Amino acid sequence: MSAASPTHALLLATLLFAVGMLGVLARRNLLLMLMSIEIMLNAAALAFIAAGARWHAAQGQVMFLMILSLAAAEAAVGLAIILRLHSAGRPTLDADTGNRLKG
Amino acid sequence: MDALLLPLIVACPLLAAGVLFLSAGRMPPLPSCVIGAGSVGLSALMAVVLAIGFLQTPPPTGALHATLWSWMQVEGFSARIAFMLDPLSLVMMLVVTGVGFLILLYACGYMHDDPDIARFFGCMTLFVAAMLVLVFSSDLLSLYIGWEGVGICSYLLIGFWHTDTANVTAARKAFIVTRIGDAAMLCGLLLLATRAGTLDVASVLQTVTTRPADLQAAIAAFLLLGGAVAKSAQVPLQTWLPDAMAGPTPVSALIHAATMVTAGVYLIARLHPLFASIPVAMTAVALIGLITLLLAAGSALVQTDIKRILAYSTMSQIGYMFLALGTGAWQAAIFHLVTHAFFKALLFMAAGAIILRVHHRQDIYQMGGLAHAMPGVFAAFLAGSAALAGLPLLTAGFYSKEMILQGAWHADPMLWAGALLGAFATAIYIFRCVFIVFFGPRHTEPHGRTGAIMAIPLVCLAVLALTGGWMEMPDAIAPVHLLSNLLSPLFGAPMPEGPHWLLWAGSLVPLAGIGVAWMLWQPRTGTRTPPENALARLARAGWDFDTLYDVLIVRPFTTLGQLNQTDICDRLSDATAATARAGGRVFGRMQSGQVRRYAGWIAAGTVVALCLGVRP
Amino acid sequence: MSDLPFILFSLVAAVAAIMVVTRAVAVHALLYLVVVLLSLAGVFFALGAPFAAMLEVIIYAGAVMVLFVFVVMMLNLGRSDRDRERHWMAPAVWIGPALLSGLLLIALCTTLRTIPPTAASDTMAPIGPQSVGLLLYGPYVLSVELASFLLLAGLVSAFHIGRNIRGTGTGEP
Amino acid sequence: MTAPMPVIIGVTLVVLLGLATFLTWFERRLLGLWQDRYGPNRVGPGGILQAVADGIKILFKQDWIPPFADRGVFVLAPAIGMMTVLLSFGVVPVTAFWSIAGDLNVGLLFVLAMMGMGVYGVVLAGWASNSKYALLGGMRAAAQMISYEVFMGLSVLGVVMQAGSFTMRDIVLAQSGLWFVVPQALGCAVFTLAGIAETHRLPFDLPEGENELGAGFHTEYSGMKFGIFFLAEYAGVVLISALLVTLYLGGWQGPLLPPALWFALKTGALVCLFILLRAALPRPRYDQLMALGWKILLPLSLINIAATGAILLLHAPG
């Protein structure tokens, strides 16, 4: 079994997912949380690609494209919210203040 | 070539609609008119070319097919966007594009000083496109697209002058009432789809012949009938049509007289084997038609608004078509559909010409004596009225109505008698309108002239309203059966004709009706005020169906709601609420509103679930 | 020999991912995130998915991440933000999340162990854009539609959230 | 016929960097010619050694980093800018046998990817400088280059559809009958405009915009780091020209002359066109630039794709 096998790619995906989750849970900065989510999404994408490579099917890349569009939409909305919060008098980007509804 | 022409006929008005809408109302009147009427004219031209080709060399299978694309393909169900041209849709296509073109031409004159003319033509062309989709579809799902498309266009156009609240209310009413039918129709379609696994018309009808009609098929037929009833303004969903006259007159002529409201007739004709296999459904169709035609004719007798008279008349005439459908006289229904499109569009457009010239008044009692002031319009209106009343031999309406009466006679003499009564009333109410509007003392001084662009369609349709019926005559007069022969591959041989005295009865009754009208409203001695008594008021309000629905449905519903506020069922929900609230207080502590806390819970849950799943 | 790029890219991705979640300056974290993405693109390439690799670079690293950078630039974070960030990243904060992530990692790795080794498909012939496109616009056309709906929804909501409420040009509510 | 890979890489690198250096002189001379003045003409015959002189000056300047800047990113930014351009050249086939990775099966996508990465060079330079002019320049660059990348990607899709491949070599070979500039005239026009915006050359050099932003994103740069930005811009011009030649003008193909010469001739002519554009056109306002992109180029490129697809489908066998 060569090193560049889907199983090893899955291992990498697992690692990335765990690291991304660590970031989401531990960071308080909204921007950094969003970035960690991107890492998690990429881990999922890698898992799909690896599965596609395992079965030598293009479906893995199809799913990757879906994740890509999901990530794009998520980033757009997330960043818009961050900008909004920032301009609404919460310049700290502190996720823990997100429960205050009024700006 | 022909199969390519089919989508082009639809694409032409659709493209025009796109252009007109994208101009965001900034398109000046002249290009709007040219694009609007021109595109439909082009469609009509292509339709004629196609029709000639079709008639000269009929396709071997009896229909032209053009599959545009496969819409969806899921397990056990498939739907395509596919067009089909068979004799039935050929007739409908010619009516929609031909009459549509004439009406749009007329609208160029009628609407020329309206600031929103681009929006008007956009909606109208979109309507024509949707109607053509409806007519051409060989798949019931794409037919449904057209069905909803014409519905939305009707809504947009009824409320065209949307600054007036009444118009908007009328539009909303039309939309909601037809929506009830549309919902029923969708359910019916879904039922059919579960039976056949597809909504392709041919396959759906195939299942009718291969599987005996069961309860499911009957329910589906009745649900479809519900859709047809709402769209065609038949009892009990007819209340929207008179109010729909709030729209511009060309809209009334095109949508609420000539084409859209006959979609229900078309639907039933398209699926006639399904209905024919369920006798109860046929009886229901016939009865609905008969009741509608009598009620609407009664209402039309006492209306004072010229457009409302015509609206009730439209309901009544579609009632005839339903009657014909219900008695199995399919050719008669389609024949009447065609002739009705001619003369009713003519009547509406003539009425519109009158309304324009008497300062936008619509009350017939305020008109009077207009025959001298506008002889051309008078002639056109007279031609249309004669056709509507069914003056024997000369007019189109006579032949088509005669065919329906024959069909009714074969089914049940009672139906025939009812239809004859309706014909009598028809002659009375339309000539009442003629006598009051065009004779007697003048109440309003007309102004201006009816321009050529409005006159040309009137002339064309007047000629058609008079001569259009000669394509199909009873054997007793002349053995001409162009339409029946065209449609017979689809509908089977037409019914044999009844005894000769039926023809005599059908000829004399309209004449008698005109005589009665003359006696009552003749220029010198006739009454010049609307009748005022309880029955007349009831009929004028459309037999008070609106009040009835209010009492039967709306009020009980609100009352029930009010009653139910404090009853025992609520205690149960209160208990649920209390439990939920108590539970909410407990779980509310978790709802800190902090994203990281939530993410933590999600992650913890995931890890736990994973551990449970991984456990060897 | 041919495995070398894969191993290299994997290591870079893993290290850079750890760097992302531990940076105090947002732009530095972003740059490391770009490195993660680029090396993941390399991994995709090694796994025989060149199309996905290029899209990862073009769209993810080239567009989405630039959007992040753009936002960071608009936020105009300064030294005080960096200090606050350092303050937030006290060691005690990391214990719980690290525990959870570690558990997750262990659980997932245990699952991976149960996967039978793949001997047959070690050839890794690349799957080109054409087959992906045929699949996308064939059986998966519905999901393409859904994705476009999603993007439209994202566009509309981003526009709505970011709209200029009082016409002040600053987005002040 | 195929040269060994290190030779190809080495020659390409040397030629490219030499060319970029040479272009700094060439542009000023051409501008001088068109604007009826001399331009650099003192150092060497016709001033041709001016480029060398500039190079020496820039190399020996103090390598200064502003104390308020973010050091790491500040140094990284110009390197990214230069690197992405150079990497893009890897997939450009100079002749049928002369390219580093001309038959990469996603070659065109690779170019687009590198264009996308190139944004970072400018944006990070703007951010790391920690000064408001640079920041504004960087933000402008981010929005401008991301937007125009969209139109660039969409415009080349027509070419891809016609050639049926992302491989640069296949695309050139597909033009043996008719250059794509004829059927893809619309795409070619959009690509050219997007290319100018991507390299932020005049008239689309809003990120630099010296009369409003100082020098834009490289306000704080000096010495060789500035020099790298400078060279990267010229290399970018050569790259866009080479891409235009490859995608739309038949690549190395042409009668009589050897392929490499044809390629060089076409590219050189396009580079001159770029310089002429700089001499001829004024700089638009920023909102005009964005409006041009989203309101005109985007619909145009979409129309191009739709039309190309429709025509291909109509001509498709079966």
Report the length, in residues, of chain A: 103
d(CA D188, CA D166): 16
d(CA B78, CA D244): 46
Q: DSSP strand E in B339-420: where? A: none
Residue C149, pLDDT > 50, answer: yes
In a domain, D140, yes or no: yes
In contact, C73 and D138? CB cutoff 8 Å: yes
Across the A:B interface, residue pairs with CB atoms under 8 Å apart total: 25
Contacts of D44 (CB under 8 A, 6+ apart): D50, D52
According to the model, what pLDDT value does residue B546 have? 82
d(CA A36, CA B596): 12
Under the banding of pLDDT at 50, 70 and 90, the label for residue C173 is very low
- Could you tell me where the DSSP H helices lie in B137-164? 140-158
Question: Cβ contact (<8 Å) for B604 and C110?
Answer: no
- The full set of domain ranges for chain B reads 303-527, 532-564, 567-614
- The CA-CA-CA angle for residues B223, B227, B228, to 5°, reads 115
Count of H-run helices and E-run strands, chain C: 8, 0
User: How many domains are contained in chain D?
Assistant: 1
According to the model, what pLDDT value does residue B285 have? 92
Residues within 8 A of C (CB atoms), A 26-65 only: 26-29, 31-32, 34-36, 38-39, 42, 45-46, 49-50, 52-62, 64-65
CA distances from B506 to B189, B296, B300, B329, D317 (A): 39, 20, 20, 17, 61
DSSP 8-state assignment for residue D1: -
d(CA B343, CA B466): 8
Instruction: Please state the rounded mean pLDDT for residues B351-362.
Output: 87
According to the model, what pLDDT value does residue C165 have? 61
Block residue for tokens 């526009």: C159
State the CB neighbour count (10 A cutoff) for residue C89. 19
Classify B556 as helix, strand or coil: helix
Q: Token digits for B597?
A: 């806390």
Run means of pLDDT, 10 residues per run, chain D, 318 residues = 72 83 86 85 82 85 84 89 88 78 80 89 86 85 87 90 87 87 89 89 77 77 85 89 90 84 90 88 87 90 92 81
Q: Which of B146-150, B297-301, B385-389, D15-19 has the lowest mean pLDDT?
A: D15-19
d(CA D108, CA D162): 14
- The CA-CA-CA angle for residues B588, B593, B597, to 5°, reads 90
d(CA B199, CA C162): 45
In a domain, D106, yes or no: yes
Q: Which helix (H) or strand (E) holds B79?
A: strand B77-85
Handedness of CA B391, B395, B396, B402 (dihedral sign): positive
In a domain, A94, yes or no: no
> What subunits touch chain D, counting only 3 or more CB pairs under 8 A?
C
Classify B305 as helix, strand or coil: strand
DSSP 8-state assignment for residue B255: I
CA distances from D68 to B176, D71, D128 (A): 67, 9, 9
Residue of B nearest to A18 (CA): B603
Q: What is the DSSP string of B217-246?
A: HHHHHHHHHHHHHHHTT-TTS-THHHHGGG
From the list B72, B603, B614, the residue facing C111 with the nearest CB is B614
According to the model, what pLDDT value does residue D165 have? 85
Q: Which helix (H) or strand (E) holds B83?
A: strand B77-85
DSSP 8-state assignment for residue C94: G
Under the banding of pLDDT at 50, 70 and 90, the label for residue B102 is very high
d(CA C112, CA A8): 9
Q: Token digits for B204?
A: 């759906």
CA distances from B14 to B85, B123, D266, D307 (A): 19, 10, 46, 19
pLDDT single digits (tens) D133-186: 888 888 888 888 888 988 999 999 999 988 888 888 888 888 888 888 888 889
Contact of D127 with chain C, judged by CB distance below 8 Å, is answered with yes
According to the model, what pLDDT value does residue C2 have? 64
In a domain, D191, yes or no: yes
pLDDT single digits (tens) A76-102: 999 888 888 887 776 677 777 766 665
Residue in A22, A41, A102 to test binding to C, most C beta-carbons within 10 Å: A22
Domain of residue A53: give its range. 7-88
Q: Which of B152-156, C114-118, C120-124 has the lowest mean pLDDT?
A: C120-124
In contact, D137 and D208? CB cutoff 8 Å: yes
Question: Cβ contact (<8 Å) for C101 and A22?
Answer: yes
The helix, strand and coil proportions of chain B, stated in percent and rounded to the nearest 5, come to: 75, 5, 20
Nearest Cα neighbor of A58 from C120, B559, B454, C130 is: C130
In contact, B69 and B81? CB cutoff 8 Å: yes
Contact of C25 with chain D, judged by CB distance below 8 Å, is answered with yes
Q: What is the ipTM of this complex?
A: 0.75
Contact of C96 with chain B, judged by CB distance below 8 Å, is answered with yes
User: How many domains are contained in chain A?
Assistant: 1
> What subunits touch chain C, counting only 3 or more CB pairs under 8 A?
A, B, D
Block residue for tokens 């040397």: D14
Report the length, in residues, of chain D: 318
In contact, B245 and B308? CB cutoff 8 Å: yes
Task: Report the mean per-residue pLDDT for chain D.
Answer: 85
Question: Cβ contact (<8 Å) for C142 and B72?
Answer: yes
Residue B54, pLDDT > 50, answer: yes
In the 3-class helix/strand/coil scheme, how is B160-222 assigned residue by residue? CCCCCHHHHHHHHHHHHHHHHHHHHHHHHHHHHHHHHCECEHHHHHHHHHHCCCCHHHHHHHH
pLDDT single digits (tens) B390-400: 888 888 888 88
Under the banding of pLDDT at 50, 70 and 90, the label for residue B482 is confident
DSSP 8-state assignment for residue B565: G
Q: What is the DSSP string of B287-298?
A: HHHHHHHHHHHH
CA distances from A68 to A75, B281, C14, D143 (A): 10, 54, 20, 20
pLDDT single digits (tens) B521-543: 877 776 677 777 888 888 787 78
From the list C96, C97, C104, the residue facing B610 with the nearest CB is C104
According to the model, what pLDDT value does residue D229 have? 86
d(CA B52, CA B95): 15
In a domain, A27, yes or no: yes
CA distances from B566 to A19, A73, B557 (A): 55, 46, 15
Note the CATH architecture for domain C1-88: Up-down Bundle (1.20)
Instruction: Please state the rounded mean pLDDT for residues C20-35.
Output: 89
Residue of C nearest to D116 (CA): C62
> What subunits touch chain B, counting only 3 or more CB pairs under 8 A?
A, C
CA distances from B202 to B58, B182, B208 (A): 18, 22, 10
Report the CATH number at residue A66: 1.10.287.3510
Q: Token digits for D133?
A: 């002019």
Name B69's bridge partners.
B81
- The CA-CA-CA angle for residues B559, B565, B567, to 5°, reads 105
Residue in D75, D108, D115, D127 to test binding to C, most C beta-carbons within 10 Å: D127
**Distance in Å, alpha carbon of C5 to nearest chain B alpha carbon:** 32
Question: Cβ contact (<8 Å) for A26 and C14?
Answer: no
d(CA B197, CA B76): 6
Contact of C94 with chain A, judged by CB distance below 8 Å, is answered with yes
Q: What are phi and psi of B371, to 5 degrees?
A: -60, -40
Instruction: Please state the rounded mean pLDDT for residues B277-287.
Output: 91
d(CA C3, CA C57): 21
Residue B572, pLDDT > 50, answer: yes
Instruction: Please state the rounded mean pLDDT for residues B280-299.
Output: 91
Question: Cβ contact (<8 Å) for A99 and B594?
Answer: yes
Under the banding of pLDDT at 50, 70 and 90, the label for residue C172 is very low
Chains B and C touch (3+ CB pairs under 8 A): yes
In a domain, D297, yes or no: yes
Under the banding of pLDDT at 50, 70 and 90, the label for residue B48 is very high
Burial D254-284 (b: 16+ CB within 10 A, else e): eeeeebeebbbebbeebbeebbeebeeeebe
In contact, B6 and B136? CB cutoff 8 Å: yes
From the list D127, D145, D146, the residue facing C73 with the nearest CB is D127
d(CA D122, CA D138): 6
Classify C114 as helix, strand or coil: helix
Residue of D nearest to C68 (CA): D142
